[in-house]
Amino acid sequence: MSEPSCIHAFERDLSPASALAGALGVPVRPIALHRFPDGESLVRITMADARPVLYCRLDRPNERLIEALLAADALGNRPVLVAPYLPYMRQDIAFHPGEAVSQRVVTRLLGSAVSALLTVAPHLHRTTVLDPLIAPARAIVVQPADVLAPLLRDEAGDRPVLVGPDGESAPTLARLAGLTGLEALHLTKIRSGDRQVASTLPPGTALQGRRAVLVDDICSTGTTLIEAARLLYAAGAGAVEAIVIHPLFDAAAASRLRAAGITRIRATDSVAHDCGRIPLAPALAAVLRERLP
C-alpha cells in the first residue's frame, strides 16, 4: 500500500500506535470511545482518510474485538487492522461435541470487516496459515525471529543458548539461530491440562554454567517456562532468562516465574504489560511499507 496518512487508535493503545506512527512519519488520531451504562460501546472517528489503518491490541478480547469491529465500520473503506496479538487462535477444531471453533468465528468476523490484518506470531497449532481463514482480507504475519534477532545480536557476547519450550518453537529457534549465529535447542512438551505440563530436554544436554534464554510466543500461566527453567538448571545452566512475544501472564504468574529462577523476563509491547518493553513498531512499519498493497 502507499504510506498511510495516519494511524487510528483507541486511547488505551496510543503509546504503541504513536510509536508506529512515528516510525512511518505520520500522525496518530485517537478514536473516541463511550461505554453506556449497560456495557455497550459507542465508537466515533473524528477524521477518516482514504487508506485507514486501525491499531488495536486485542488482549481481553471479549470487549475489544467488538470495539475493533465498530471502529473498522466507522472508518469505512475496510481498513488495514494492525493487531499485534490475535486472540482465539488456539481453538482450531472442536475437541468435544458441541464446542465452537473460535478461530474460525473470529477470523470470519475480522475478514469481513478489514482489507488486511497485520499481526505478530499468532498462536496457531494445526492451522499453518491465516490467509484462507481471513479471506477476503489478506493476512500478513510478522515472525518473532525478525523482531528478536537485533536484540539478541546486540547481547551475544557471552554466547547464550536459545531455548524453545516445545517442538512448535523449532522454526522460530532455527531462524533465530541463523540470524544471530547463536546455538539453539528446544524441549519436548506434553500438556495434559491448563497447568499440567511435562517437558524433556534433548538427551545429553549439558549447559555448564551458560546463560539460557527461553524464547516463547505466548505466556499466560507461566507453567511451561517454569518447567523449562527447572530442566535447564538441572542441566547446568548458570542463569535462565525469558523473552516472550505475547505476555498474557498476571502478577502472580510473574512471581512464580521469578521464584523458579528466571532472572529476567522481557516481552514485546504486543499487549500492555510491565515487561512489554521490546517495541514492535520498527517491524510493523517495515511491513506496512513493503508488503501490503
- CA gap 83, 96 in Å, rounded: 29
Which residue reads 527461553 in cell numbers?
Answer: 214
Q: What whole-number distance in Å separates Cα of residue 110 and Cα of residue 135?
A: 9
- Catalytic, 31? Answer no
pLDDT in tens, the chain (293 residues): 557 889 999 999 999 999 999 999 999 999 999 999 999 999 999 887 878 899 999 999 999 999 999 999 999 889 999 999 999 998 888 889 999 999 999 999 999 999 999 999 998 877 778 889 999 999 999 999 999 999 999 988 889 999 999 888 899 999 999 999 999 999 987 765 555 667 888 888 899 999 999 999 999 999 999 999 999 999 999 999 999 999 999 999 999 999 999 999 999 999 999 999 999 999 999 999 887 65
The values of phi and psi at residue 50, to 5°, are -70, -30
Q: Are strands 80-82 and 7-10 parallel, antiparallel or unpaired?
A: unpaired
**CB environment 204-233: b (16+ within 10 A), e (fewer):** ebebeebbbbbbbbbbbbbbbbbbbbebbb
Using CA atoms, how far residue 80 sits from 4, 30, 87, 166, 221, in Å, is 10, 16, 17, 33, 32
Q: Rounded to whole angstroms, how far apart are CA atoms 67 and 212?
A: 40
Annotated catalytic residue within 186, 189, 210, 273: 189
Nearest partner of 146 among 119, 122, 118, 175, judged by Cα: 175
Q: What is the pTM (predicted TM-score) of this model? A: 0.92
Within the chain, all domains assigned CATH 3.40.50.2020 are found at 7-142, 145-278
Q: Regarding the domain delimited by 145-278, which CATH topology (the fold level of the hierarchy) does it fall under?
A: Rossmann fold (3.40.50)
7-142 in CATH: which number? 3.40.50.2020
